[in-house]
Amino acid sequence: MLTHFAFDVTVKTADCSTHNKNKIMRVPGALYAARGRAPQNENDVPFQEILPLRLKNSVSGKADSGADVACLQEMGVLFACLKDNEFVEQYCSKEITKFQQCYKFYMDRKFEAKKTVNQGIVQPGNNLNYKQLNKYLKRYPNPK
Amino acid sequence: MKMFRKQLGSLSRISTQLQRNVIASGAASRTAEMSTNVAPALDAAALDEFRTAVANPGEHSTLQSAKFYTIPVEQKKQIFTGGGLPKQYEQQIKTFTETCLMVRSPALELLQYIKNADLSKPAVRYVLYGENGVGKTLTMAHVLHYGALNDFVLVHVPWAPNWMKRPKEASNASGQEGFIDLPFDAAAWLVHFKNQNAQLLQKLQLKTSKEYVWSKRESTPAGASLIELVEHGIARIKYASETTAALIAELKQLATNNQCKIMVAIDGFNAFFHPITRIFSDNKQRVSPDRITLTQPFLDITNYDWTNGVCILSVDKIAMTEGYMDSYMPRYLLGKEGFEHLDPFVPIHVKNYTEKEFMSYISYYLDRHWISKTPPGFEKQLKFMSNMNPYTLMQLVRGL
Amino acid sequence: MAYACCASKNILRIAQCTTRLMSVYPSHYVSPIVDKNIQNSKGLELSHIPIKAAPNDVNDTIFYGELKQKFLNYITKKGNAELAKELLTKTFEAIKRTQIERLNLGGADQEKVITDAETLLINAIENSRPLLTLSAIKRGGVKYQVPVPLTQRKSYFLAMKWILDAAREKERKVKLPDKLAWEILDAACGQGRVIKKKDDLHRQCETNRAYAHYRWS
């Protein structure tokens, strides 16, 4: 959950008495390096809450899609075989069927996974997908 | 249609004659069916069941009906090089590497008539009629084969509408005012005539009866052989039409004098009476067929004022142009003029396949590897789809 | 999804579902069965289940083949299926003519000559199906051609498309059915442009195999 903060970024040469060194900040010049960057005055730069400073009651499903890389090894074996046989497929039928089976298995699994996700059955455990999480969050929303 | 019936009614003589013939042909086909029920048991053992070894159409009888006979290559070449078989059938012949025709009841009927005809009487006109794609042309081909084997001089026009619909060149006739010549088509027909009859003409030694003067320098003397006449027409395309007229007049006379017998076969005969052609005169007027020099001799030879000949004519819907294709009956297609020209004639109705013919054709196709999808009941499907129409069946089977 | 769950509970309460399906049929409708034999055996089972209307391009005759119908759809331009059908029929005719002529010419391998055009079409498509394809994936501002496995559907699509493309690439005087017949005959015996195209693709995939782990993420 990302919450956003915004500051008024007009730099003001205010009071320079503080010697608090900001270690993260890159040092732009010798002058600043000696004294360090002063924090903003809260009165001069008032805090604005652009997005609410609270967690939302839902999560997005983007991260769940995961990487799509599958059957790399089978593909490698297939390529090796094809190259050895000058790309005549009938000599590599074993490798081809293996590769296609692998891909089919992968796709089927993906399809099944999507189906179970879509069903959204809530079960206890820590490995929950976004649909399940959303159901939980709906039932137990963040306190206001 | 209404008009058609009215006119038919007024010509009551003709209508009764027509009916009589239909009844006669019906009876003939009935007898054919009866005998076919007995036939398969007899010669099932020999050859394939759908073939017959009898290659002479003169010997064909109901025993051979619905069976295929093979025309030898040379004879096919002699008779059909210049046309006479439908284009798609030619293609099929090429693919199947054999010229097979099915012995069908209309051809048998026609052959029986011709065999029993008294040639000393005026020429009898037989008119083949029927729906599109029903086998009129192939019936004619069957009879032509008979004619070629039995020393008939063949006067065969493979497809008359070609002259009216897509002439190669049209020019004004030199002899007659207001007439149109089709020199190339006439020459092509002469070549076709020569192909079909060269051997026979050699044997018969037919001579011309009078001198033909083509121009100041060119003439064919009396007593020249007919082949010379034909060759002159081919060599001098300009006079091809006139040569055709002369040739046909000569043939008619020779036949009447009992020197030869003639079989006239004209496919799409009704084109000679259909006023709409694609030939235009100099002043951009449509020329009707009676103004074409090539029409006259063929109308002349289909008259009954000569003996020793038979005329087999077919009337066809597709010989007409759009808007004139409502019925396949001869009276409708020929019009009043044409009908009166041919009257009296013997109508022969060519119909769709019978059950037996259909099955025979299917087994022929199977034998030639033309149908490769044979789940149980496929014949039934084809029968239903094609309504046992030969052409439709041919079209359906293409993609199987 | 919503329909599915509702439908399983109570068909009558479908109207309450909020999500809409793209289909005009509710999800408890079953597809019609084309094959007559299966129809007869399943007749009782289906007697009380609502069935979708029959599609008009499927039938249980000798003229129908599943892959043939699919191919027919790809030939069709601007919905002119009639023309497409005619073209494919002519193609089959041309194929049959060449094959029968080959058969009649004789030779040792007479039994090997297939005269069934549809079988040849299926063989041609099967032979032209690619295993992998290249897909452009952007990584760090650079586009990489990454070999990606293909689903069965997609590979059939590509095979048919290639055959048709090869057939359409011709001189104007040559008719499509003739060219298509040649391409199908070629591909059916593992030669020709389509097969070469597939092999080229495989070769390219092989040269780019180092990028294989880059697939979608």
Q: How many residues does chain B have?
A: 400
Cα dihedral value B233, B237, B238, B241, nearest 10: 50
Average pLDDT over residues A24-30: 52
| Residue A67 predicted with pLDDT over 70 | no
A85-101 mean pLDDT: 86
Probe site for chain C from A73, A89, A110, A121 (most C CB atoms < 10 A) = A89
Q: Where are the alpha helices (DSSP H) in chain C?
A: 2-9, 36-42, 66-75, 81-105, 117-128, 152-168, 176-188, 192-207
Q: Would the pLDDT of B54 be above 50?
A: yes
Which has the closest alpha carbon to B207: B236, B227, B233? Answer: B227
pLDDT number for residue B12: 42
CA atoms of B92 and B99, how far apart (whole Å):
9
Choose among C199, C209, C213: nearest Cβ to A87: C199
Please report residues of C whose CB lies closer than 8 A to that of B399.
Answer: 63, 88-89, 92-93, 117
Beta-ladder partners of B310: B124, B263
Looking at chain C, which subunits does it touch, using at least 3 CB pairs closer than 8 Å as the criterion?
A, B
Which long-range CB contacts under 8 A does A103-112 form with residues at least 24 apart? Answer: A103/A70, A103/A71, A103/A74, A103/C149, A103/C151, A104/C152, A106/A70, A106/A71, A107/C151
Per-residue pLDDT of chain C (217 residues; tens, 9 = 90+): 334 444 444 444 444 445 667 888 888 899 888 888 888 888 788 888 899 999 888 888 888 988 999 999 999 999 999 999 999 999 999 999 998 888 888 765 667 788 888 999 999 999 999 988 888 888 888 888 888 888 889 999 999 999 999 999 989 999 999 999 999 999 998 888 999 999 999 888 888 888 877 765 4
In this complex, do C1 and A118 lie within 8 Å of one another by their Cβ atoms?
A: yes
Position C82 scores a pLDDT of: 92
- HSE (CB half, 13 Å, CA atoms) of A94? 4
pTM of the model: 0.78
The residues of C whose Cβ lies within 8 A of any Cβ of A are 1, 131-132, 147, 149, 151-152, 199, 202-203, 205-206, 209, 212-217
Complex ipTM value: 0.80
Torsion, CA B85, CA B90, CA B93, CA B97, rounded to 10: 120
- pLDDT, average across residues B329-334: 90
pLDDT digits (tens, 9 = 90+) for B167-219: 888 888 877 778 888 888 889 999 999 888 888 888 888 888 888 888 888 88
User: Alpha carbon B301 to chain centroid distance?
Assistant: 14
Instruction: Give the length of chain A.
Output: 144
Model confidence at A115: pLDDT above 50 = yes
Residue C15 confidence (pLDDT): 46
Residue of C nearest to B88 (CA): C93
Of these ranges, A23-32, A50-59, C87-96, the one predicted with the greatest mean pLDDT is C87-96
Do the Cβ atoms of C131 and A100 come within 8 Å? Answer: yes
CA distance A4 to C51: 54
The region that residue A86 occupies, defined by phi over 0 for left and psi between -120 and 50 for alpha, beta otherwise, is left
pLDDT of residue C94: 93
Q: Are B317 and B310 in contact (CB under 8 A)?
A: no
What pLDDT does residue B376 have?
87
Q: How confident is the model at residue B39 (pLDDT cuts 50, 70, 90)?
A: very low
Domain assignments of chain C as residue spans, ordered by start: 2-42, 66-214
What angle (nearest 5°) sits at the alpha carbon of residue B351, between those of residues B350 and B355? 135
pLDDT at B344 over 80: yes
Instruction: Mutate one of A64, A73, A82, A108 to test the C interface: name it (highest C CB count within 10 A).
Output: A82
pLDDT at B314: 92
pLDDT at residue A28 in the model:
52
Q: Taking a C-beta distance cutoff of 8 angstroms, is the pair B334, B125 a contact?
A: no
DSSP C173-216: TS-HHHHHHHHHHHHHTT-HHHHHHHHHHHHHHHHTGGGGGG--
Task: Compute the nearest-CA separation of C75 from chain A (Å).
Answer: 28
- Distances in Å between the Cα of B326 and the Cα atoms of B269, B387, B391 are 17, 20, 19
Helix (H, G, I), strand (E, B) or coil at B12: helix
Average pLDDT over residues B345-354: 91
The CATH superfamily label for domain C66-214 reads Ribosomal protein S7/S5 (1.10.455.10)
Pairing assessment for the beta strands B219-220 and B68-71 based on DSSP bridges: unpaired
Asked if C209 lies within 8 A of A103 by C-beta distance, the reply is: no
B130 pLDDT higher than 70: yes
Instruction: State the Cα torsion B62-B68-B69-B73 to the nearest 10°.
Output: 160
What CA–CA distance (Å, rounded) separates B385 from B124?
38
- Residue-level pLDDT at B129: 92
Cα–Cα distance, B369 to C99 (Å, whole number): 10
Domain ranges of chain A: 1-53, 62-139
Mean pLDDT of chain A: 74
Give residue B369's pLDDT.
Answer: 87
CB of C63 less than 8 A from some CB of B: yes
C183 touches chain B (CB under 8 A): no
Q: Is A108 on the interface with C (CB under 8 A)?
A: no
